[in-house]
Amino acid sequence: MNVKTRTIITLVCSLLIFAVGVIRILTESLASTPLFVAYIFVMTGLIGAVANGMVLRKLRKTFA
């Protein structure tokens, strides 16, 4: 698996973690998950998405 594919997979997973946290905060569903965990998901998912987006942009400029 090359670096670009791995970066895209981690970007998608970070966005999914972010989405789960946002859905939990907005809808207050998944009552078994504490709200604190949802805020952690939102923050870590956002940080991961931004970091992987920057890495992907750097990879695109390198290979272009």
pLDDT at 33: 65
pLDDT at 22: 92
Question: Which residue positions in the chain have pLDDT lower than 70?
Answer: 29-33, 63-64
pLDDT at 18: 96
3 state SS for the chain: CCHHHHHHHHHHHHHHHHHHHHHHHHHCCCCCCCHHHHHHHHHHHHHHHHHHHHHHHHHHHHHC
